[in-house]
Amino acid sequence: MLSIEKYFDSVRQNRLYFYILFLMLPWFVPLIGYLMWGNLYFTDLKVFAGGSLINLILCLFANQINQKTALFIAGIYPEAHQTVYRVTFWFTIYSVVNVIILYLVLKVYDYIGLFGYSLNDEHLSWSVIALLGGSLIGTGLSELAYTFMQWKTNQSELQEMEQRQLQSELELVKQQVNPHFLFNCLNSLSVLISEAPVTAEKFVDEMSQVYRYLLTVNSQDWENNLVSLEEEIRFVRSYIYLLEIRFEEGIDIKLQTADLYQIGQMVPLTLQTLIDNAIRHNVVSAEHPLKISIKTTATGQLEVRNNLQKRAVRMPLNNAGLGTLISRYKLLFNQAGTIQVKEDETSFTVLLPLIYT
């Protein structure tokens, strides 16, 4: 009884093998019973019930051996290009093992005269043919199950690699954002101190607000944190002030966010990332000002749009900041966090979701 329980526990560990097994047994067990006892198998309830139960137990025993054999062969020929060898060995060993078990079982049935069974060459031949057909089907299903499990394993490994890569990118961003931001601010501040002391004082206040926010969100679990749109807008207003001091008339950023959506959750530093992405890829000058619009849509999403005036550079600029942001939303929210990117001849638009919990 204990061995039967262990058997079913092992089968349940792989649902696909479980489904395959119980897809084959309902037709295979009656077929073997009919080949053994003929019409008596379906007309005598005692023969049908008893013969089916004994044959079912023997089929499960044979399947247990086949599964162990399948694992052993898969370990020898695990690669995709070794499919022919794997399938050939599976079929050969399945056939040999099953035929040997069948012959021994039939000899025992004949010896004890189970339900009047008598071994003859015709019954044996048809039983072997049926068993070879079942072995062939089992081989095909085993390969299907193996391929599916390999695909699942590869997908899991790929997802794990993507998450590790994303974690590395996030750590890199965390290490770079503060020094880069501080360097630009100090350059602007050094000019303001001598030319516009009053403005320099306000600049320091806004800079402290920005830096306080950066220190807050750059905590140990930053990649899992969320902030409200209200918090992000409060931060980005100070950040925009610093940019306007730095670029003067070269940049124009407008905020139009409805109060209704202020409680929507988002990844911290989203707006800074999108603003910096626009600045990195476009010309920013008084003659050609970069215009950025940040607004909420009627469907509760956030739209960030800038006019398109791409820089003429020898080396193409990467989109690491935006790419990392897209990965973060996908990692945190799956399909609910899909970011839409649209580009035409005049504008570049990023549409991202606000999460309401």
| Helix/strand/coil for 274 | helix
- Dump pLDDT digits (tens) for 74-124: 778 777 777 787 888 878 887 888 788 878 888 888 888 888 877 777 777
Burial class (CB in 10 A: 0-12, 13-18, 19+), 61: middle
CA pair distance 265, 271, nearest whole angstrom: 13
- Dump pLDDT digits (tens) for 272-331: 889 988 998 999 999 999 999 999 999 889 999 999 998 876 545 555 678 878 877 877
Identify the CA nearest to 68 among candidates 22, 25, 14: 14
- Dump pLDDT digits (tens) for 156-165: 766 766 666 6
Would you state the pLDDT for residue 87? 80
Would you state the pLDDT for residue 119? 77
Contacts of 24 (CB under 8 A, 6+ apart): 134, 137, 138, 141
Say what the pTM is. 0.53
Q: Please list the residues that pair with 303 across neighbouring strands.
A: 295, 351
| pLDDT bucket at 1, cuts 50 / 70 / 90 | very low
Higher per-residue confidence, 240 vs 64: 240
Would you state the pLDDT for residue 280? 87
Residue with tokens 């501040």: 189
Give me the domains of the chain, ranges plus CATH numbers: 2-156 (no CATH), 224-353 (3.30.565.10)
Would you state the pLDDT for residue 202? 85
Tell me 264's DSSP state.
Answer: -
CA pair distance 14, 333, nearest whole angstrom: 29
Give alpha helix (H) positions in the chain. Answer: 2-12, 15-37, 40-43, 45-76, 83-112, 121-195, 197-217, 229-247, 270-281, 320-333
In the structure encoding, which two tokens stand for residue 293, read together?
């619009």
| pLDDT bucket at 167, cuts 50 / 70 / 90 | low
Q: How many CB atoms lie within 10 A of CB 203?
A: 20
